[in-house]
Every structure is written in C-alpha cells, then in structure tokens.
Amino acid sequence: MEKSVDSHKAVVDVLEAEWLPLRKASRKLGVTAATLRGWADEGRVPSYRTPGGHRRFRVDAATPLTAQTFSEGPRRWQLLEYSALGRARVALEERMRTRGVLIDASPRAQIEYRALGRQVTQQLAQALQSDPLTEKRVIELGKRYARLQRRYHVELGAALQALGFFRSAFIASVVEFNFGIGQPEPEQLIVWLERANAAIDAMGAAMVESMLKEPQQDA
C-alpha cells in the first residue's frame, strides 16, 4: 500500500514540476512572458489552460528546443514579432491602468490597431534581415496610422506617445532576440537597432505630417 501511495506521489510531483505558470516558466527559460506565449502559440512549448483560465507551460518539454540556436528561416523572426507585440500590449495596458486611456479602447479600434501593429512588426522584422524599409512603404505605414488616429479622434500628442510605447517594445525585443539566437556581437545589434529606429522615425514623421495636413474625420 505504501509503495502505491509513493508511486502516486511521484507521478504528481513530476506533473507539478513540468507544468509551470507563465512567470515561473519564463524565468526558468530566461525569456520574456511575451516570447513564451509566442512559443506556445507556435507549438514550440506545450501549454494548457486550467479551469480558472490560467495558462500552464510544460518547461521540461521546451528545454531541448530553447537550448538550440534558432534555425534560419521565418519562424525565428516570428518570435521577435510576438515579443514586440506582447511588450507593446503590456506597456499600453499598464499606462491605461495607472494614467487612464491613451487612445480609443473600443473593440473595433483595438482590432484595427492590432492588425496594423502586426503588419508593422512584420515589416520591421523583414527590414532587420536585409535592408531598411523603402521610403514608399514607410510613408504608407505612417499614413495608415494617421488615418486610424483621425478615425478615432486621437490627438497628436497621444499618437506620439503610443508610437513611443511601440518603439520601446520593439527595441527591447530586438535586444532580447539578438542574445536569444546566440548572436551577441555588438556590431550586429547596432546595425539592427539603427535599421529599426530609422524605419520607426520615418514612419512617425509620415504619420505626423499626414495628421497635420488632413483634418479630423470619421471613417
């Protein structure tokens, strides 16, 4: 009987050790919570939700994956996109919690901003891989942001603050990404940061110019 109880306890201990909440799992793997969520969404890390809606991650199963250098190809760059979007979302939610709403928080607005944010991060990730975004593409992204700001009557100051949150999130994710792929050479990181900042600066300038030239209007 004691042997059966001990065996049952051993199984329970193993299960509890394997499945960890978000913060503990991300600390154990040495990545941000946003990155870990992205890995789970990509199927790199097993996860499930408890009856209470909390997510649990099987870290032991993920370790062989995270211990390897990311393979070449689009999947590793998608992790950068997930991390940047997650960081930006957390920063904006914290801003809303402590100082109030920065931009229109209606469901429609959230969907449109997130969709455009995903497209921008994808474009920036592509710019890091080769050359900076072309001037035409940067201007178009800026104008699209300006159209959203006008549609939801966002003031220029709030729009620039939101762009600042996005920049900080993306830059932090680039730094983490650089070390995560085992490529900590300062020269490479400097090139990526220069490309990212140049693209975001140009996009912001196009957004501001468009917002100042065109009057507020509804969709």
In the chain, domain spans: 2-66, 74-213
Q: What is the pLDDT of residues 130-189, one digit of tens each?
A: 766 677 888 899 999 999 999 988 889 989 988 998 999 899 888 888 776 666 678 888
**Class of the 74-213 domain?**
mainly alpha
**Segment holding 83, helix H or strand E:** helix 74-99
Asked which of 76-80, 130-134, 167-171, 193-197 is least confident by mean pLDDT, the reply is 130-134
pTM: 0.65
φ/ψ of 21, rounded to 5, equals -65, 170
Q: Which among 78, 218, 95 has a CA at the least distance from the CA of 163?
A: 95
Q: What is the pLDDT of residue 135?
A: 77
Distance CA 182, CA 198 (A): 25
Distance CA 75, CA 141 (A): 24
Q: Which among 175, 174, 181, 180 has a CA at the least distance from the CA of 71?
A: 181
Count the residues in the chain.
219
CATH architecture of residue range(s) 2-66? Orthogonal Bundle (1.10)
How does residue 71 score in pLDDT terms, banded at 50, 70 and 90?
A: very low
Q: Which among 69, 70, 188 has a CA at the least distance from the CA of 129?
A: 188
Q: Which among 38, 36, 14 has a CA at the least distance from the CA of 23?
A: 36
